[in-house]
Amino acid sequence: MATARILDFLATRRPSGPCLVVDLDVVEENFRAFEKVLPDSKIYYAVKANPAPEILRLLASLGSSFDCASVAEIEMAMDAGASAARISFGNTIKKERDIARAFELGIRLFAVDCVEEVEKTARAAPGARVFCRVLTDGAGAEWPLSRKFGCAPDMAVDVLRHARALGLDAYGVSFHVGSQQTDLSAWDRALGDAKKVFGTLAEEGIVLKMVNMGGGFPTRYLKDVPAAQAYGQAIFGALRKHFGNELPETIIEPGRGMVGNAGVIKSEVVLISKKSADDHTRWVFLDIGKFGGLAETMDEAIRYPITTQHDGGPTSPCVLAGPTCDSADVMYEKMPYPLPLSLTIGDEVLIEGTGAYTTTYASVAFNGFEPLRSYVI
Ligand SMILES: *Cc1c(COP(=O)(O)O)cnc(C)c1O
């Protein structure tokens, strides 16, 4: 959210154009909160949420590990000071030559979700540790990752058995309950599935060691979300319920929960208009939209808190849109956004909770608009 440091930065530096400002103190607080509520889990920050070098350097210095999805992300994490032992290649969809390059860089932990990926990994990263991702339904998540990644638990057994047969270290199971997950029971269901895979393979003498519990930890947008402590308790309770006293090693991979609330986007109102004389809904056009970094407003999935200097006065529902010449560049229309009646062209607005999944989702120069600028303070 807009911390005193962020507000001070904006007031004194007055950056022109839309920009994201990230407060590193908040990232550090988030890291320590994860450490505190899940003390036995290793934290692998999901680099894709915000790969700013300052954020990666801070997290590396705090002892974080890193979940990377490409060779470029692996190199960014290494440049920030992480050793290869603290990096996983967590994308289940990789080119064989990228697996080979990661292996050359020293990476020894890889995600798979099918025998085809196991075969690539066995050729390009012989003997490496692999964990198999199982499907979750993503129910309860505002940004579900659904069917694209993972396989059914029964198939995960085959995948890991195949990995062992090809000389890989069949190391564990992973899942992701869906991003911005506010249903605490989602981890319980997924851990139940993970335990089934552990149990079946144990009967064949393949002893898995690790459960990668993924991301999904929410950040607060407009609605309240359960506190970090509630997540910690629910997850630890589910681990005990399914694994009893034989707790596996565990990993968590927070992205949004690590950086979402650390960033604020400053934007400017470009135009306020109506579509007809008797139109009650104002159209408010900002200098940032879906192509400038707010891609997660797709299907109006993520609803960011927006603050203005007129807050507290009367409001009316507005359609909120971006500045580009694409009609898809409308953020909130099905559920219009209440904004102050006194809001005027040229006003600045703050879009809060935008530290995750914004800078990397900005287009290169659609309509000539430059990619979202970012300041990490
Ligand atoms: C995106 C991603 C994450 C981070 O998810 P959040 O919901 O942002 O915490 C973690 N793990 C994997 C494998 C991912 O793809």
What would the pLDDT profile of 28-41 be if each residue is shown by its tens digit? 999 999 999 999 99
> Could you identify the atom of ligand 1 that is nearest to the CA of residue 356?
8
Tell me the average pLDDT across 330-349. Answer: 97
> Could you identify the atom of ligand 1 that is nearest to the CA of residue 254?
9
Cα of 374 to ligand 1 centre, how many Å?
A: 21
Tell whether ligand 1 has an atom less than 6 A from the beta carbon of residue 150.
no
Tell whether ligand 1 has an atom less than 6 A from the beta carbon of residue 176.
yes
Percent of the chain's residues with pLDDT above 90: 92
Is the pLDDT assigned to residue 138 strictly greater than 80? no
pLDDT on residue 362? 96
Q: To test the ligand 1 pocket, which listed residue (110, 176, 252) has its Cβ within 8 A of the most ligand atoms?
A: 176
> Could you identify the atom of ligand 1 that is nearest to the CA of residue 90?
13
Cα of 252 to ligand 1 centre, how many Å?
A: 9
Nearest residue by C-alpha to atom 3 in ligand 1: 215
Cα of 198 to ligand 1 centre, how many Å?
A: 23
The catalytic site residues sit at 325
Cα of 253 to ligand 1 centre, how many Å?
A: 6
Is the pLDDT assigned to residue 223 strictly greater than 90? no
pLDDT on residue 14? 96
pLDDT on residue 284? 98
Q: Note the CATH architecture for domain 261-376.
A: Beta Barrel (2.40)
3-state SS string over the chain? CCCHHHHHHHHHHCCCCCEEEECHHHHHHHHHHHHHHCCCEEEEEEHHHCCCHHHHHHHHHHCCEEEECCHHHHHHHHHCCCCHHHEEECCCCCCHHHHHHHHHCCCCEEEECCHHHHHHHHHHCCCCEEEEEECCCCCCEEECCHHHCCECHHHHHHHHHHHHHCCCEEEEEECCCCEEECCCHHHHHHHHHHHHHHHHHHHCCCCCCEEECCCCCCCCCCCCCCCHHHHHHHHHHHHHHHHCCCCCEEEECCCHHHHHHHEEEEEEEEEEECCCCCCCCEEEEECCCHHHCCHHHHHHCCCCCEEECCCCCCEEEEEEECCCCCCCCEEEEEEEEEEECCCCCCCEEEEECCCCCCHHHCCCCHHHCCCCEEEEC
Give the CATH H-level superfamily of domain 90-254. Alanine racemase (3.20.20.10)
Tell whether ligand 1 has an atom less than 6 A from the beta carbon of residue 90.
yes
Q: What is the dihedral of CA 233, 248, 201, 132, to 10 degrees?
A: 80
Residue ranges per domain, the chain?
90-254, 261-376
pLDDT on residue 293? 98
The predicted model scores a pTM of: 0.96
Tell me the average pLDDT across 120-135. Answer: 98
Is the pLDDT assigned to residue 137 strictly greater than 90? no
Tell me the average pLDDT across 236-260. Answer: 97
Tell me the average pLDDT across 270-285. Answer: 95
Is the pLDDT assigned to residue 257 strictly greater than 90? yes
CA 170-198-212 angle, 5° bins: 70
Tell me the average pLDDT across 334-338. Answer: 96
Cα of 110 to ligand 1 centre, how many Å?
A: 15
Q: To test the ligand 1 pocket, which listed residue (43, 67, 225) has its Cβ within 8 A of the most ligand atoms?
A: 67
> Could you identify the atom of ligand 1 that is nearest to the CA of residue 111?
13
Tell whether ligand 1 has an atom less than 6 A from the beta carbon of residue 255.
yes
